[in-house]
């Protein structure tokens, strides 16, 4: 027989009802931004195809798609009063937006940065395959850890298919298009003494904090990587406690406290990303009428909303 909810900590229907004043604004707002973003993505993809420049627009389209996907996930979580769970997704959308805005910051460096993103992605792909390929050093180390943790032995014979994929990816780094970027990647890795972020190449910001400051997103960075970052590691005690009869007690699982701010930030990130893409690929297109008609009224009402939350009912 299925286990019932322990309603003192989780009442799904009550939690959704309690935040309805927020979700009645936030859900249609984020859905509109996601839906419009997908249409913008399609139009930009068509424009990129007309340019005929191999690999040069892949990074922008991939980053934008990622931001849209994270925005869609945030809307699902917000509509179900899952505020705490939405924060890591918001952080992922923020990182994607930083990358996209930096990528599109300057026409003169666009191709260089686009290819830097791809070179870093290729290195990530090589590393991931090396872990799973028993014929590599990383693969051997992973096999030992896997056996120790799960008590099962991974086949030690080399995986020809993975080895071929690794060889193919490494070959891409030696092509005329990528070789200069790969040389800079190697130089930057040596200078930083670690695997570099793609935006660190060619004298770029050394880390994401510097990137956020450069792009005027320092406050949002400090929120997402400061007070809100500890929940990603499960060590923010304040987030899980309330008070009961004068002593600490665990708070409800679906906490509504930050839903309004999360929704506002998600909307602003989607707007930033869509504006950046239009500015790069569809410069004659004007988003102002759409924003004024379909976005601003909801965003303004959400920003002005004042909500007092009711605690979960007692058993």
pLDDT for residue 214 is more than 80: yes
**Average pLDDT, stretch 200-222?**
96
0.85 exceeded by pTM: yes
Q: What is the dihedral angle through the alpha carbons of 33, 35, 37, 38, rounded to the nearest 10 degrees?
A: 170
**Average pLDDT, stretch 199-219?**
97
User: What φ, ψ does residue 212 adopt, rounded to 5°?
Assistant: -65, -45
pLDDT for residue 244 is more than 60: no
pLDDT for residue 250 is more than 90: no
What pLDDT is stored for residue 271 in this prediction? 98
CB of 251 within 8 A of CB of 262? no
pLDDT tier for residue 310 given thresholds of 50, 70 and 90: low
CB of 305 within 8 A of CB of 22? yes
CB of 305 within 8 A of CB of 260? yes
**Model confidence pLDDT, tens digit, residues 90-129:** 999 999 999 999 999 999 999 999 999 999 999 999 999 9
CA–CA dist 179, 100 (Å, integer) = 23
CA–CA dist 203, 216 (Å, integer) = 18
């Amino acid at each position: 027989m299925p286990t019932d909810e322990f309603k003192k900590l989780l009442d799904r229907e009550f939690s959704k009802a309690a935040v309805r004043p927020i979700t009645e604004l936030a859900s249609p707002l984020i859905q509109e931004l996601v839906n419009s973003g997908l249409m913008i993505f399609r139009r930009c993809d068509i424009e990129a195809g007309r340019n005929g420049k191999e690999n040069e627009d892949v990074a922008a389209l991939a980053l934008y798609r990622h931001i849209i996907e994270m925005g869609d996930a945030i809307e699902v979580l917000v509509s179900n009063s899952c505020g705490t769970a939405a924060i890591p997704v918001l952080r992922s959308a923020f990182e994607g937006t930083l990358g996209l805005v930096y990528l599109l910051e300057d026409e003169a460096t666009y191709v260089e940065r686009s290819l830097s993103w791809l070179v870093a992605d290729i290195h990530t792909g090589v590393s991931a395959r090396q872990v799973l390929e028993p014929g590599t050093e990383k693969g051997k180390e992973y096999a030992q850890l896997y056996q120790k943790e799960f008590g099962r032995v991974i086949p030690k014979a080399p995986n020809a298919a993975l080895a071929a994929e690794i060889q193919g990816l490494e070959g891409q780094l030696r092509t005329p298009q990528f070789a200069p970027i790969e040389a800079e990647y190697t130089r930057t890795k040596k200078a930083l003494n670690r695997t570099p972020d793609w935006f660190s190449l060619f004298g770029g910001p050394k880390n994401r904090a510097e990137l956020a400051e450069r792009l005027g997103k320092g406050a949002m960075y400090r929120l997402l990587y400061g007070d809100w970052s500890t929940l990603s590691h499960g060590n923010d005690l304040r987030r899980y406690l309330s008070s009961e009869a004068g002593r600490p007690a665990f708070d409800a699982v679906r906490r509504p406290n930050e839903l309004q701010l999360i929704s506002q930030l998600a909307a602003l990130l989607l707007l930033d990303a869509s504006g950046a893409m239009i500015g790069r690929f569809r410069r004659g297109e004007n988003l102002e009428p759409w924003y004024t008609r379909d976005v601003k009224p909801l965003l303004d009402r959400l920003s002005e909303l004042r909500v007092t939350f009711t605690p979960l009912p007692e058993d």
